[in-house]
Structure 1
Amino acid sequence: MVELSGQPQDILKPAGLSRIQEKNRSLILEAALGEFSKKGFSGATVEKIAADAGMSKSNLLYYFSSKEAIYNATLAHILEVWLAPLKTLKPDGEPAQELAAYIRQKIEISARFPEASRLFANEVIQGAPQILPILQTDLKRLVGEKCKVIESWIAAGKMRRVDPVHLIFTIWATTQHYADFSVQIMALTGRDLSDPAFQAETELAVTSLILNGAGLDWPPVEDRTE
């Protein structure tokens, strides 16, 4: 789980929950994601989240002490899901394979959790009032670690010299674009990531553009068509 420096303890997943409590907590977070992504933090209400989760307000407050705690837990879960693929970049791996796998996972997450992407984007656009400590500590530390992995590949002559942090930013921007601007993409192409064929096309295009720009051949020769 992502460590959340400086954040209240009740946004973390408590230890020792029963199966029913685990299920109820998941229902709350799922309902909260839908409510916050549509109405933002200010417009969302605990009553509506409780109703969408199929429980009373008092029952919901057993799990989370306030709307802010629910919101922080929702954002923390989003970060946990999004950052898991970045953690997999291995110094001893081949850059093309490692980065292609990372891009693929990021596109899959955008396809499966578009509301989560939009909620996170809206939070950051507003100045990250709830999660700035996370961005400044845990996220910054993780990105720093993975920049060193990319720098090791560059030093070994495995890829072109590029700025590692901007490479990561570019991957984030391109993959999350397909969730955050899905309405625009649908208006222009008539398709989005809910279409498996379009998702596959997106993965190939984004991966090729980014990896070729970093001096890495993609797709692999054996996968190319005439």
Structure 2
Amino acid sequence: MTDATVPPMTRIQQKNRDLILQSALEAFSANGFRGATIDQIARLAGLSKPNVLYYFASKDDIHKTLLTTLLDMWLAPMQQIDAEGDPLTEVLGYVQAKMQMSRDFPRESRLFAYEILQGAPHLTQILGGGLREIVERAVAVLEGWMDQGKLARTDPRHLIFSIWAMTQHYADFEIQVRAVLGPGRDPIQEGGAFLDALYRKLLTP
């Protein structure tokens, strides 16, 4: 049966598939790829092991699917940068979108960071292809704005790297950030305001 003739999943099948991925996220976040097992994922999902393997061929398949989904989610705000919009507003909006993702998806960020630290064995092909293409499209928009004098001149690729590092730090090192700030502080709100001021100063012509 070809992909073109595969029937769409039912509502229950889609629900089970999503449940497996969420349970896998919890298992991988707690135990790493090597420590997590199909049995753990099935138990967390409230499904049998054969049922999990009905949707995914292996633990590796689950992990790769989860990481690919997460990468698509991370890159979505970058693809929403509007070349026709106000340059500073668009870049600062991207920074704030990434900060909100650090607030809302800290486990996902840490799982992705762990994969990168391991040499990205499940994402090598994607990182060398789709990711670079998306980044290069954003770079072309940034360079266009810089050429027009609408943004201060800086290296657009390293600008993107810095935004990733600065925003995802609040998810990947959440415990450290909260320990340093102390109780009663909002790391995302405070960090968002700091990064807005930082990039506004850097990029204003």
TM-score by length of 1: 0.85
Percent identity over paired residues: 44
Q: Which residue of 1 aligns with 2:142?
A: 150
Q: CA RMSD in A?
A: 1.7
1:210 maps to 199
- Tell whether 2:111 aligns with 1:119: yes
1:69 positional shift: 0.2
Task: Tell me, in whole angstroms, the C-alpha distance in 1 between the residues paired with 2:64 and 2:7.
Answer: 18
Provide the rounded CA distance (Å) in 2 between the counterparts of 1:168 and 1:78: 18
CA offset at residue 190 of structure 1? 2.0
Partner residue in 2 for 1:219: none
Aligned counterpart for 1:132 among listed residues 124, 128, 133: 124
Is 2:24 the counterpart of 1:32? Answer: yes
Equivalence for 2:55: 63
Q: Does 1:109 align with 2:101?
A: yes
Deviations 1:56-105 (A, max 9, x none): 00001111000000000110111111111000112111111101111111
Higher helix share: 2
Q: Which whole-Å CA distance do the structure 1 matches of 2:34 and 2:177 have between them?
A: 28
Structure 2: stretches of 5+ with no match in the other structure = none
The 2-side partners of 1:179 and 1:199 are apart by 9
State the alpha-carbon separation in 2 of the partners of residues 211 and 128 from structure 1: 33
Instruction: Structure 1: give runs of 5+ residues left out of the alignment.
Output: 1-9, 217-226
Match for 1:184 among 133, 158, 176?
Answer: 176
How many angstroms does 1:199 deviate by? Answer: 2.3
Q: Is the 8 A contact 2:170 2:188 kept in 1?
A: no
Query: 1:15 offset after TM fit, Å?
Result: 6.6
Whether the 8 Å contact between 1:78 and 1:116 is mirrored in structure 2 is yes
**Offset at 1:191?**
5.0
Confirm or deny that 1:200 pairs with 2:198: no
The count of corresponding residues between Structure 1 and Structure 2 is 201
